[in-house]
Amino acid sequence: MMEIQRHRLVLITPPFQGHLTPMLHLATVLHSKGFSITVAHAHFNSPDPSNHPNFCFLPLFYGLSDTHISSKNVVDITATLNTRCVSPIKEALIDQIEKANINHEKIACVIYDGLMYSIDSVARELKLPNIVLRTTSATNFLTYHTFLQRQSSGWLPLQDSMSLDLVPELEPLRFKDLPMFNSCDIQKQIAKTVAVRPSLGVICNTVNCLEEESLYRLHQVYKVSFFPIGPLHMIAEEDSSSSSFVEEDYSCIGWLKKQPKQSVLYVSLGSIASWEEKELTEVACGLANSKQKFLWVIRPGTISDVSEWLESLCKDVRVAIAERGCIVKWAPQGEVLADEAVGGFWSHCGWNSTLESLCEGVPMMCQPHFGDQRVNARLLSHVWKVGLEWSNVMERNEIEVAVRRLMVNSEGKEMRQKALKLKNEIKIAVKDGSSYDALNRLVKSILSMNL
Ligand code: UDP
């Protein structure tokens, strides 16, 4: 134990909610294994150091601002981040190495988010052992390899981007489920992401029982170690602190406590995706007509004035929202999904939301918006069979039918049973199964590089 304490890990995360949260959970887990922790992060969208008194935090100017982030152009943001973060991170790492020497510590490993592929060369140059944390599903990562293989044989992704045909190498994914590979910028980023060869391997926030085949195939093609130690929020059980950028509104938990078991549909599109005002109105009418209870997250900035918009809705809908609904700006999602009043989750299928729902046995209504979300939605509906694939037509009647299919019909009940079974399997994997073993393997691997 004494010897492990002298090993410091530097974890580097981008300024996105869905990336920072799993990185902090990983930090908590590795701290519990005896490592000292430094978390490097952007100077905005920062974690709250008082929630983690045992960690050192290193705010850095990555060359991005929160206005970049609000542009929602993920490809452009990623490209800018990777160009501009290199020199501040290199300087910070050199400084960390010097400080570690003074404190009789050693930088045992740099762990960086997979989105920040340009750190690969920095870690190599400084001769630091390094690991990538992938915060999306293993299957999503596999689609990158398939894309590159197909591209080298002349495949034109644009032609197939709406095709319902199955991708032979990735069944049951269809071409239309793949992340959009049709811009040169995305293609370049994918090539760079796949080219990264972290010396110690890749940590995946996933569980063997969910993605065994994808993990096996990734290992075959990538030829580095994979550590599927997820779900990180579950394995970091001692970390109950919040890493939310927006203040969580706990009043919804009080509201949930007054609702019957499995009666509430939780509606949230995560931290980036959103509906336009016209779509919000269809959602409000569809939810009202479904006669189901609902807890709905409408993030600040989604529309200019939520109260004004609510006032503009017809009387019946306003009454239904007042009687059966609860609207908040940001929810404590972990606690919401764990509450027994919640019977379903209408989600954009971000990977964190997907894992959080699976861990609580809550079936989902899948409405992917972009990126890996389509892959996750397909896994939910066609592999684990705990997610409802609906038309995604943002029209009140379609929404009403879909909500009732999930919350009332036998279809929803079957999905709930399957979700509860998966919840148990995940629990076992974390307690003393595959995730537990992978974590021990990871710790050994870091230590063996530093003997
Ligand atoms: N989240 C939350 N409260 C909300 C909405 C989302 O705490 O009201 C959290 C959610 O628990 C998850 C993260 O924000 O951990 C969203 O990550 P995800 O990968 O699902 O989607 P992204 O925001 O990256 O698209």
229 domain residue, yes or no: yes
What ligand 1 atom has the least distance to the C-alpha of 16? 24
Measured in angstroms, how far is the CA atom of residue 19 from the centroid of ligand 1? 10
| 225-228: Cβ within 8 A, 24+ apart | 225/200, 225/201, 225/441, 225/445, 226/138, 226/201, 226/202, 227/131, 227/201, 227/202, 227/203, 227/438, 227/439, 227/441, 227/442, 227/445, 228/138, 228/204, 228/434, 228/435, 228/438
Confidence of residue 256 (pLDDT cuts 50, 70, 90): very high
pLDDT at 4: 47
Measured in angstroms, how far is the CA atom of residue 17 from the centroid of ligand 1? 7
347 domain residue, yes or no: yes
Instruction: Tell me the per-residue pLDDT of 138-194, one tens digit each, with 9 for 90 and over.
Output: 999 999 999 999 988 888 777 778 899 999 999 999 999 998 777 888 889 999 999
Q: What is the mean pLDDT of residues 414-438?
A: 98
205 and 265 in a single domain? The answer is: no
Report pTM. 0.95
The residue whose C-alpha atom lies closest to atom 7 belonging to ligand 1 is: 333
Residue with tokens 């003997």, as numbered in its chain = 451
Q: What is the tally of structural domains in the chain?
A: 2
Which CATH number characterizes residue 52's domain? 3.40.50.2000
274 and 293 in a single domain? The answer is: yes
186 and 257 in a single domain? The answer is: no
Q: Which domain covers residue 88, as residue numbers? A: 6-242+431-449
Measured in angstroms, how far is the CA atom of residue 16 from the centroid of ligand 1? 10
1 domain residue, yes or no: no
274 and 160 in a single domain? The answer is: no
78 domain residue, yes or no: yes
Question: Residues lining ligand 1, CB < 6 A?
Answer: 17-18, 21, 244, 268, 270-273, 297, 330-331, 333, 350-353, 356
229 and 255 in a single domain? The answer is: no
215 and 90 in a single domain? The answer is: yes
Instruction: Tell me the per-residue pLDDT of 258-270, one tens digit each, with 9 for 90 and over.
Output: 999 999 999 999 9
277 domain residue, yes or no: yes
Q: Please, which residues bridge with residue 319 across strands?
A: none
Instruction: Tell me the per-residue pLDDT of 3-49, one tens digit each, with 9 for 90 and over.
Output: 444 899 999 999 999 999 999 999 999 999 999 999 999 999 999 99
Confidence of residue 2 (pLDDT cuts 50, 70, 90): very low
360 and 282 in a single domain? The answer is: yes
Q: CB burial class (10 A; 0-12, 13-18, 19+) of residue 95?
A: exposed
